[in-house]
């Protein structure tokens, strides 16, 4: 069977399904092809399930370690990990049903199957027609289209020679579906996913060691934040082994997993019950038919221009498959942008410097804009305002005073170059900083916005005052 559409989207993850909704709003006849479940990585094996588990970990930590401090007597506290998983599933299922409902509401056709791009053929003189191998075994559907968006996302990477079985040696995909917690876990990779898992497993009572070849965790974040995060996790019992060259060929699996590494020329090994590999994600581009197109791939990612068009300019690509900031909100906005471009709308390109970056560990981190080092490297003379949560009433009330807000400005113009936060709930505070940067506000304008008392947001106002040495509560 064949059918014609204004737009077909290959991949129904965050980028894909949001693009489809925008396309429906703009009156385009739209179809999505999804080989697994609508919602993609973020909903099924990323953002949402990991945050659901982090929340359970937080409740366990607070009940076990802090309830007394709040005057709450709890008796013996224990963890029912199957209930942690059940709660996670319930949240995921609810959101999944919501997306399916949104597809129906937008009259978006959803093809459950694996899509492949065809070259020029009897269906169209241009490449891009999609052949769908249907999950239900029906004969292939042929989708003839005016425009295609590739949103096939990403999958976990491993290190050369390190074989993943998702049971003893796992990626975040395997870790999210564990039936039981291990007694100990070695995590290779101290990026965002590694740090979130280190924090979560530590809260659940698992002994955690984090190995990384670099000398700081969260390498893309401000060094102040990264080092403070390392110290905060170390204080809770997480071990960091940094600057480690990992010998993947040394991996031994028995009842436990042993791997060796070299630090400062000294070879050592570490044994734990399980090993988690979190070393980044690669694009899903195999077997989607790119060879039938002019689309270019560099370093494993599809190349596009600023409007997300590939070399075949009626074929767009968005989200994790094009690399860059692999974040759900980025995929979403790239999808909306591509659809609006297809519909002939004109917009400024997305400014990736203004995309908030969050880590949902305890404490959390959140950032927007340049790090201090990046600002210096770009030749700015920087002026910095910093305010600690220790001096914030709401942080004290909440019982979480670790962390700070740091604002980096340009001494010449007062422009805000970057904002970096560490502390409980900072992922909910960063949007104000993002808005300030989008609106080109200077610190004085931020501090003259009256922040309600007592809130954590006052720390942002105070950090803005601190840029001029005028903070009130330090």
Give the tokens for residue 90.
């319930």
Give the tokens for residue 132.
């769908």
Task: Kindly state whether residue 288 participates in binding ligand FAD, applying the rule CB under 6 A.
Answer: yes
C-alpha torsion angle, residues 455, 460, 465, 469 (rounded to 10): 110
Bridge partner residues of 228 (DSSP) = none
d(CA 364, CA 429) in angstroms, rounded, equals 11
Kind of pairing between the strands at 245-253 and 364-369: unpaired
Cβ atoms of 331 and 318 within 8 Å: the answer is yes
Task: Kindly state whether residue 19 participates in binding ligand FAD, applying the rule CB under 6 A.
Answer: no
In what helix (H) or strand (E) does residue 367 lie, and over which residues does it extend? strand 364-369
Q: How far is the CB of 427 from ligand FAD (least distance, A)?
A: 9
Cβ atoms of 268 and 261 within 8 Å: the answer is yes
d(CA 316, CA 23) in angstroms, rounded, equals 14
d(CA 335, CA 153) in angstroms, rounded, equals 12
**Measured from the CB atom, is 364 or 458 closer to ligand FAD?**
364
Which part of the chain contacts ligand FAD (CB under 6 A), choosing from 27-35, 308-316, 374-382, 443-451? 27-35
Task: Kindly state whether residue 16 participates in binding ligand FAD, applying the rule CB under 6 A.
Answer: yes
Task: Kindly state whether residue 40 participates in binding ligand FAD, applying the rule CB under 6 A.
Answer: yes
d(CA 185, CA 203) in angstroms, rounded, equals 13
Q: How far is the CB of 310 from ligand FAD (least distance, A)?
A: 15
Q: How far is the CB of 298 from ligand FAD (least distance, A)?
A: 17
Question: What's the chain's Rg over C-alpha atoms?
Answer: 24
**Is 473 assigned a catalytic role?**
no
SS3 per residue for 148-183: EEECCCEEECCCCCCCCCCCCEECHHHHHCCCCCCC
For ligand FAD, the binding residue among 331, 339, 370, 429 (CB under 6 A) is 331
Task: Kindly state whether residue 170 participates in binding ligand FAD, applying the rule CB under 6 A.
Answer: no
Which part of the chain contacts ligand FAD (CB under 6 A), choosing from 21-29, 34-42, 74-82, 252-260? 34-42
Q: Name the active-site residue from 333, 451, 453, 473.
A: 453
Q: How far is the CB of 380 from ligand FAD (least distance, A)?
A: 28
For ligand FAD, the binding residue among 30, 50, 202, 272 (CB under 6 A) is 50
Considering only residues 57 through 116, tell me which ones interact with ligand FAD, judged by CB under 6 A: 114-115
> Residue 203: which of 382, 62, 73 has the closest Cα?
62
**Measured from the CB atom, is 288 or 336 closer to ligand FAD?**
288
**Measured from the CB atom, is 282 or 457 closer to ligand FAD?**
282
**Measured from the CB atom, is 281 or 400 closer to ligand FAD?**
281
Considering only residues 148 through 167, tell me which ones interact with ligand FAD, judged by CB under 6 A: 151-154
Cβ atoms of 64 and 58 within 8 Å: the answer is no
- CA of residue 463 relative to chain centroid, distance: 26
User: Which DSSP state fits 422?
Assistant: E
Cβ atoms of 285 and 321 within 8 Å: the answer is yes
Task: Kindly state whether residue 462 participates in binding ligand FAD, applying the rule CB under 6 A.
Answer: no
Task: Kindly state whether residue 33 participates in binding ligand FAD, applying the rule CB under 6 A.
Answer: yes
> Residue 84: which of 201, 164, 167, 185 has the closest Cα?
201
Task: Kindly state whether residue 202 participates in binding ligand FAD, applying the rule CB under 6 A.
Answer: no
Distances (CA, A) of 372 to 214, 408, 453: 19, 7, 29
Number of residues near ligand FAD (by CB under 6 A): 37
Q: How far is the CB of 215 from ligand FAD (least distance, A)?
A: 24
Which part of the chain contacts ligand FAD (CB under 6 A), choosing from 12-20, 71-79, 255-263, 462-470? 12-20
Which part of the chain contacts ligand FAD (CB under 6 A), choosing from 9-17, 23-31, 82-90, 236-244? 9-17
Binding site for ligand FAD (CB under 6 A): 10-16, 33-36, 40-42, 45-47, 50, 114-115, 151-154, 172, 193, 284, 288, 319-321, 326-329, 331, 360
Q: Which residues participate in catalysis according to the annotation?
A: 453
């Amino acid at each position: 069977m064949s059918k014609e559409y204004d737009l077909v989207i290959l991949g129904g993850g965050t980028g894909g399904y949001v693009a489809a909704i925008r396309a429906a709003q703009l009156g385009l006849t739209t179809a999505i092809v999804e080989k697994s479940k609508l919602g993609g990585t973020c909903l099924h094996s990323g953002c949402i399930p990991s945050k659901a588990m982090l929340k359970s970990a937080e409740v366990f930590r607070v009940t076990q370690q802090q309830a007394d401090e709040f005057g709450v007597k709890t008796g013996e506290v224990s963890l029912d990990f199957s209930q942690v998983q059940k709660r996670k599933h319930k949240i995921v299922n609810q959101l999944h049903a919501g997306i399916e409902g949104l597809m129906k509401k937008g009259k978006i056709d959803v093809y459950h199957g694996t899509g492949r791009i065809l070259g020029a053929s009897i269906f169209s003189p241009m490449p891009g027609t999609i052949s769908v191998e249907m999950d239900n075994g029906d004969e292939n559907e042929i989708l003839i289209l005016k425009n295609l968006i590739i949103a096939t996302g990403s999958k976990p990477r491993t290190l050369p020679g390190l074989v993943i079985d998702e049971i003893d040696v796992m990626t975040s995909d395997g870790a999210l579906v564990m039936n039981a917690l291990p007694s100990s876990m070695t995590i290779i990779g101290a990026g965002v996913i590694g740090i979130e898992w280190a924090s979560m497993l530590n809260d659940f009572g698992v002994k955690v060691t984090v190995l990384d070849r670099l000398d700081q965790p969260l390498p893309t974040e401000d060094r102040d934040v990264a080092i403070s995060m390392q110290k905060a996790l170390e204080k809770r019992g997480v071990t960091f082994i940094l600057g480690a060259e990992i010998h993947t060929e040394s991996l031994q699996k028995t009842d436990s997993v042993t791997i060796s590494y070299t630090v400062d020329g000294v070879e050592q090994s570490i044994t734990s019950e399980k090993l988690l590999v979190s070393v980044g994600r690669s694009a899903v581009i195999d077997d989607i038919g790119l060879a039938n197109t002019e689309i270019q791939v560099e370093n494993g990612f599809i190349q596009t221009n600023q409007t997300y068009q590939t070399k075949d300019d009626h074929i767009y690509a968005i989200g994790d498959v094009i690399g860059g900031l692999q974040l759900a909100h980025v995929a979403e906005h790239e999808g909306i942008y591509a659809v609006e471009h297809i519909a002939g709308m004109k917009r400024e390109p997305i400014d990736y410097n203004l995309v908030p970056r969050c880590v949902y560990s305890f404490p959390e981190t959140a950032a927007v804009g340049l790090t201090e080092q990046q600002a210096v490297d770009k030749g700015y003379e920087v002026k910095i305002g910093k305010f600690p949560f220790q001096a914030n009433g709401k942080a004290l009330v909440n019982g979480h005073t670790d962390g700070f807000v740091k604002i980096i400005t340009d001494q010449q113009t007062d422009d805000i170059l970057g904002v970096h936060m560490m502390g409980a709930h900072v992922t909910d505070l960063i949007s104000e900083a993002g808005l300030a940067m989008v609106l080109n506000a200077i610190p004085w304008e931020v501090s003259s916005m009256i922040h309600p008392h007592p809130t954590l947001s006052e720390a942002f106002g105070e950090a803005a005052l601190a840029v001029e040495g005028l903070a009130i509560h330090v």
